[in-house]
Structure 1
Amino acid sequence: MGLLRIMMPPKLQLLSILAFGLSMLFIENQIQKLEESRTKLERTIARHEVREVEQRHTQDGVRDTPPLAEAEDVVIIYNRVPKTASTSFTNIAYDLCGKNHFHVLHINTTKNNPVMSLQDQVRFVRNVTSWREMKPGFYHGHVAFLDFSKYGVRGKPVYINVVRDPIQRLVSYYYFLRFGDDYRPGLRRRKQGDKKTFDECVSAGGSDCASEKLWLQIPFFCGHYSECWNVGSRWALDQAKYNLLNEYLLVGVTEELEDFIMMLEAALPRFFKGATGLYKTGKKSHLRKTTEKKPPTKESVAKLQQSDIWKMENEFYEFALEQFQFVRAHAVREKDGELYLLAQNFFYEKIYPKVN
C-alpha cells in the first residue's frame, strides 16, 4: 500500500484519502443506526415481557387487590410553613379534589400551635393511617413534621412542603399581622392598627422583626423534638436537612412555585392532574396577597443578616433550593421559554424466567 501511494500522483492520493474517509464515516453511521435499532428492539421486547409477566401474575392470583388500590390508599401531608404561598397552593388542591376524587382536610390546631401533644400525635397518626373514608387524602396545616415510623403503624404518608427566603417570609408575615390580605379582607388581625413599617421596627429593635422571628422553617422541618425549637440549634438544622432529604417527596420554593406544581403533577397525577394549567389560568392560584407590604431597605436586610439565626435559616433555605433545583434539572427541560417534563427514561430488560 505504501509503494502504491508513492507511485500515485498527489491528486489521486488526496482523492483516495477522501474516499477512504467518507467510507469510514458511512460505515460508522451505519453502525450507529444499527445500535439504535438494536436498542429500540430490546426496549420493545422488554416492554412486551413486562406486560406478559404482569398478565401472568394477575391470572395466577398474585394480585389480591385492584391495580389502583395502592394509589387509592395514598395520603399526602403538607405541613405548610406560614407565608410561603401555602394558601395559594392549597387552593389548587381544593379546586382539584372534586375532579380528581380525593379528600382535602385542614389540620386546625388550637392557637395555631405547630407542636401537638403526645396524645394528639397518636390520635393524628391513627386517623391518617386508618381513616379509609378519607383516602386518598390531602392533609394541610401549620404543623411541625411528625415521624410516623415511631408509632408502629403500617404505611407512611407522603410529605411535601414549600420554603421561602427567610427575610422575605418574615417581612410578609410582619405586614400580614397588621394589614391582613385580600383573601379575608374583613378579618381583624392581631397587630391591626400598628402602622410602623418593617424598617422602623428593625431600626427600633422591635420584637416582631427580631432575628429570633426568623427561626421557623428549620423547626417546622425538624419536628416534635424539644431541640428543634431551641433558637439557633445546630442539631435542629442538621435534623431539618435530614428530614428534607429522607422524609419529603418534594420541597419547593415560593419563588419557583409553578415548577414545583408541574413536578408534583408529573409525580402524583392521582392528585395533581391539571394543577399546572389551573395555576397558570385559575383565579384562586394567586389570590392571597399581603396588603400594604413594603420591601425592606438594604440597611434592614444587612442588619438581620448579621445574626447567626439568619445564617442558619438561610443555610437551610439554600440547601432546600439546591436540592429542588437538582431534582428539577433531572425532571424538566426548557425550550423557547417554556418548561417541558422529560419522558420516562428507564426500561426493564433481561427478565427471567422467560415466559412461554
Structure 2
Amino acid sequence: MRIFIIYVQHYDLKSQPILIHSTLIKTRLKTTKLSLKNKENNQHIILYNRIPKTASETLNYLFHQQSHKKYYRMIHSNQYVSYNLSLNKQYLFIKQIYTFNPPILYERHVYFVDFLHFNKQQPIYINMIRDPIKRTVSNYYYSRRMCLKKNRCTFIKNRTILNYTLDDCIETENEPFKCITLEYGVTSAIPFFCGQNHLCSSNENLSWAVEKAKSNIDKYYTVVGLTENIEQLLFILEKLLPNYFRNISLVYIKKRRPHINFSPRKWRKELKPNTHLILKDLLKFEYDLYNYIKKRFHEQYKQLQLINKIHE
C-alpha cells in the first residue's frame, strides 16, 4: 500500500494560482508526474497545440461553446500546416499570443514551442492523442480526400500516389516507413510534444525524440487526453482548470457531437491483417509515446476521482 500526497490547484484568473487543499490518499496507484502544481506556467494562457485526426474538431467545438460563457476568449489560428517553425517564426508566434487580452485559449496545429527559450512563461499546455494505427489510417485517407476533392495537397507532392490505398503503399513501397511520413500525407504525433528541434521530426533519432516528448509532457502539459476517452478528459479539465472548463461535460452530453470532422465511408478503408501487423512495428515509437501518455492519463483520472469522492 502506497501513501502519497496529491496537490490540486484551482485557479483564480485574476491572481496567482491558489492552493486550496491537499489530501492524503491511500491507494495502490503508482505515483506519476501529473504537472498539477507548476506555478511557473502562465495561468492566463492555455495552448492547445492539437494533433491532426485526433477528434480535435470536437474539442474545439466544446471549447468554443465554453468560451461563450465568457470564461475566456477562444483564439482559432488560420495556420493549419506550418507545424515546424524557424526561430524567428517561433518568436513571432509567441509575440502574437501575447497580443491577446487574457484569459485565452489558443488552438493551432503546431509542434511544441518552448516559451522559456524566449524568456516568456510557459503557457498551460493541453493536448489529445489517438491510437497510432487508427490515427495513421485516418490521416492517410483524409490527406488524399483533401487533395483530390479540394485540391489541398499540402504535403503530398507526388500525385501518382494519391490513389494508393495504405495496403497498396505498404505492399509496394521499397521502404514501407515512407507510407507513414509527411510526404505521403501522414503526420507523426511525436514532434507535437518533442518540439521544434529538427531531430523531433526528422526520424533520425526517434528514441531521443520520444524521450524528449515524455520530458516535455511531464514538465509542461497539464493533461494529454485520449480520443478514445474524451469524457474522462473533460472530467480532468473540469477538476484541474475549473475557471476555464467548469461543466464542460454537460455541454458534451447535451450536444452529443462525438466526431464533427468525420470522413465519408468511401474514404475509410479497412486494413488487411498483414498491413496492421506491419504498421504496428513501423509505429513502435508512436506506440511507446502513446502508451506512456495513456498510463499517465488513466492515473490522473483515477487520482482525481478519489479526490472527488472524498470531497463529495
TM-score (norm 2): 0.75
Please tell me whether residue 107 in structure 1 is matched to residue 73 in structure 2. no
Distance between the aligned counterparts of 1:263 and 1:116, measured in 2? Answer: 30
Whole-angstrom distance in 1 between the partners of 2:152 and 2:109: 17
Identity across matched positions, percent:
27
Counterpart residue identity of residue 50, structure 2: R
1:271 deviates by 1.5
Which of 259, 267, 277 aligns to 1:302? It is: 277
Q: Out of 193, 208, 215, which is 1:221 matched to?
A: 193
Aligned residues: 264
Of residues 191-200 and 269-278 in structure 1, the stretch that sits farther from structure 2 once superposed is 191-200
Q: How far apart in 1 are the matches of 2:301 and 2:114?
A: 26
| Residue 319 in structure 1 maps to residue 303 in structure 2 | no
Counterpart position of 1:178: 144
Aligned: 1:205 with 2:173: yes
More helix by share: 1
Report the equivalent of 1:152: 119
Where does residue 36 of structure 2 map in the other structure?
A: none
Q: Is the 8 A contact 1:174 1:209 kept in 2?
A: no
How do residues 103-142 of structure 1 correspond to structure 2 at under 5 angstroms?
Answer: 103-109=73-79, 112-128=81-97, 130-131=98-99, 133-142=100-109
Pairwise CA distance, 1:295? 2.7
Q: Are the aligned partners of 1:332 and 1:341 in contact in 2 as well (CA < 8 Å)?
A: yes
Alignment of 1:235-274 (within 5 A): 235-274=208-247
- Relative distance call for 1:118 and 1:171 in structure 2 (3 A) is same
Range with bigger deviation, 204-213 or 262-271:
204-213
Q: What amino acid maps onto 1:261 in structure 2? A: L
Aligned amino acid, residue 262 of structure 2: K
Distance (Å, rounded) in 1 between the aligned partners of 2:277 and 2:204: 19
Q: Does the aligned pair in 1 maintain the 2:139–2:187 contact within 8 Å? A: no
For residues 111-159 of structure 1, the C-alpha deviation after alignment (integer angstroms, 9 at most, x for no partner) is 612112222212222333x43x531100111111111111123x32100
> What amino acid is the match of 1:82?
P
Asked whether the equivalents of residues 170 and 209 of structure 1 are also in contact (C-alpha less than 8 Å), the reply is no
Q: Are residue 74 (structure 1) and residue 44 (structure 2) matched? A: yes
Q: Distance in 2 between matches of 1:258 and 1:187?
A: 33
Distance 1:302 1:90 in 2: 33
Give the AA of the match of 2:305. V
CA shift in 2, pair 1:208/1:288, >3 Å:
farther
Secondary structure, aligned partner of 1:287: coil
CA contact (8 A) 1:176 1:291 kept: no
1:331 CA drift (Å)? 1.2
Change in CA separation of 1:86 and 1:291 when aligned onto 2, cut-off 3 Å? same
- Is the 1:104–1:137 Cα contact (8 Å) retained in structure 2? yes
Bigger drift between 278-287 and 218-227 goes to 278-287
In structure 2, runs of 5+ residues without a counterpart are 1-11, 18-41
Q: Structure 1: how far apart are the matches of 2:115 and 2:221?
A: 13
Q: Distance in 1 between matches of 2:132 and 2:73?
A: 31
Question: Any runs of at least 4 consecutive aligned residues in structure 1 with deviations exceeding 6 A, and if so which?
Answer: 206-209
SS in 2 for 1:250: strand
Distance 1:219 1:289, change over 3 A: same
Q: What SS does structure 1 have at the residue aligned with 2:46?
A: strand
CA deviation after TM superposition for structure 1 residue 211, in Å: 4.2
TM-score, normalising length: structure 1: 0.66
The one-character-per-residue Cα deviations of 1:188-224 (angstroms, maximum 9, x if unpaired) are: 5538995543323322328797244566111111101
Query: In structure 2, how many angstroms separate the alpha carbons of the residues matched to 1:174 and 1:242?
Result: 28
User: Larger deviation: 209-218 or 266-275?
Assistant: 209-218
In the alignment, the residues of structure 2 paired with residue 196 and residue 122 of structure 1 have an alpha-carbon distance, to the nearest angstrom, of 39
* Deviation per residue, 1:239-261 (Å, 9 max, x gap): 00101111100001111111111
Structure 1 residues 244, 199: closer, same or farther in 2, change over 3 A? Answer: same
Distance 2:13 2:281 in 1: 55
